[in-house]
Amino acid sequence: MAMTNTKAAALAVGFIFLNLTCVLGGLQYGFYDGKCETSDVEAIVRNTVFSEFLVDQTIAPALIRMHFHDCFVNGCDASILLDGHNAEKTAPPNLSVRGFDVIDAAKAAVEGVCPGVVSCADIIAIATRDVVALSGGGRYTVQTGRRDGLVSLAENTIVLPAPNASVSSAIHTFASKGLTATDMVYLSGGHTIGVAHCSLFKDRLYNFNNTGEPDPTMDLGLLTWLRLVCPQNATVDSTANLDQNSSTSSTVDNSFYTQIMLHRGVLQFDQELALDPLTQSTVAAIAHSDDFNTKFGQAMVKMGAIQVLTGEQGQIRKSCRAINL
């Protein structure tokens, strides 16, 4: 039977819509297909990341944090990788960011077979997806086509949300990047793995809001344990798992949300997510759902498209640590 003009038009519109949904911020899936002869760019990055992960699994939360800190400052342009006396990596929020050597290694491996084609910004996004998958999360598909930025200034990191930011102010910050409150709650799931230094939450243990008392919202058992980990007059800045479920603290899953619902959030902001009316219901829904990995991946893809440089914008750096001269 011949297709009617109306049906053909509808299918054409549907085809265009499907293709538009595959492109976000000028990015696309499979951007490097055919651009590096027989080399599979994502496989090269994956192999490098896998080798690093076998040696140090904590590289997973490190790269997730790097990706977040890069995208929220100037967009996902690898500006966090640039060296310099006043570069982003010298700012206080980034002094504990690590994993630069992993990105360097992946870049060197890619440059060895496909020089001048793959951006450092794309390598961050691909490598982060790979460590999420290696840590038990879903293997979401990464959009590529980013180009590298030319500017990296420490003062620009002021836009990064603080560990004790209010939920409402954080929602405003995320909205300025095109992300919803729901996106924010899912992206906070990056804390399903990794640790926080005592200095970031010690006030909750001993002098919350200058009251001379601990945070009353913290579970008493957690408070007792964290005081052992973080003595009041300690000279060493120890760490505690962000997911206090010891059996899942190195696995990307929704356990983090269950823990904060039990008042076992380590960082003040994490705990507030489960208490604030603006996000409370979303946290509960995620804690009781079985699709966290899928939704987390979708949120990561959306974050990875913030203010990206594409086409002729920016450049493809030869070294991730310096702009091309």
Q: How many helices (H) and strands (E) does the chain have?
A: 13, 4
For tokens 């640590």, what's the residue?
321
Alpha-carbon distance 197 to 237, whole Å? Answer: 6
Residue 69 known to be catalytic: yes
145 within 8 A of 269, measured Cβ to Cβ: no
Q: How far apart are CA 25 and CA 120, in angstroms?
A: 17
Return the axis-axis angle of helices 41-55 and 120-134, rounded to nearest 10°.
50
Unique residue bearing structure tokens 């980990």: 229
Region label for 130, one of left (φ > 0), alpha (ψ between -120 and 50) or beta (otherwise)? alpha
Report how far residue 178's alpha carbon sits from residue 145's, in angstroms, rounded to the nearest whole number: 19
Q: How far apart are CA 225 and CA 103, in angstroms?
A: 35
Greatest distance between any 2 Cα atoms in the chain: 82
CA distance 264 to 10: 51
Residues 6+ apart with CB under 8 A from 108: none
Which three-class secondary structure state does DSSP give residue 97?
coil
Q: In 3D, which of 305, 286, 226, 256 has the Cα closest to residue 135?
A: 256
- Residue of 69, 85, 191, 288 with catalytic role: 69
Active site residues: 69
